[in-house]
Amino acid sequence: MRQLCEYLECGQIVSTHGVRGTVRLESRCDSPRVLASLKRMYRKKGGEYVELKVVSSSIQKNMVLCTFEGLDSLEAAAAMKGTVLYARREDFRLRRGEYFWADMMELPVIDDETGEVYGHLSNILTPGAHQVYVVKREAGEFMIPAVPEFIKEISLGEERAEGIYVKLIEGMIE
């Protein structure tokens, strides 16, 4: 079983808001609501994760406005622009059958009935109503809509070998 990362990318500081150190965050979570619910985030500094305590956060137009302890001026906030933020895995609550994208990347995509390995998950797209999994193989890439008709099971090695178990229809790979 693979070692899972303790820290997961959750957002990025894209700009400032006002003059008191509030920053505007782009969410890399399922929704801005998830990002706004965090009480602490982390930034990487010299290979270490440095904690940033959240004083307040709110959602504005699909972005998160956030104030961190000790970040209390426009200049300090502007210096943080572009900073990628992380959260600890334990700060999120996943329901049964939910997985972090970071844990799914590079999992083998396996035929649920035959065990044939089609390739590895290389990307997840969110174009609309459902996600689309991009599978990389030697002959190129193909996409699978992430719906129950095609995705039968995702396993991180708990009960079954690691992989994304699928049932594809004819022509899906070409």
Q: Which segments of the chain belong to CATH 2.40.30.60? A: 7-91
Q: Give per-residue pLDDT as tens, 116-129.
A: 999 999 998 877 77
Q: Are 83 and 43 spatial neighbours (Cβ–Cβ below 8 Å)?
A: yes
Q: Tokens at residue 86, please?
A: 């992380």
Task: Report the SS3 class of residue 83.
Answer: coil
Decide if domain 7-91 falls under CATH 2.40.30.60: yes
Global pTM reads: 0.74
- The fourth-level CATH superfamily of domain 101-166 is PRC-barrel domain (2.30.30.240)
Q: What is the pLDDT confidence band of residue 42, given thresholds at 50, 70 and 90?
A: very high
Q: Which segments of the chain belong to CATH 2.30.30.240? A: 101-166
The better pLDDT of the pair 16, 1 is held by 16
1 has a pLDDT exceeding 70: no
Q: Give residue 100's pLDDT.
A: 86
Q: Give per-residue pLDDT as tens, 126-171.
A: 777 788 999 999 989 999 999 999 999 999 887 889 999 999 998 8
Q: Give per-residue pLDDT as tens, 56-113.
A: 999 998 899 999 999 999 999 999 999 999 999 999 888 887 888 888 989 999 999 9
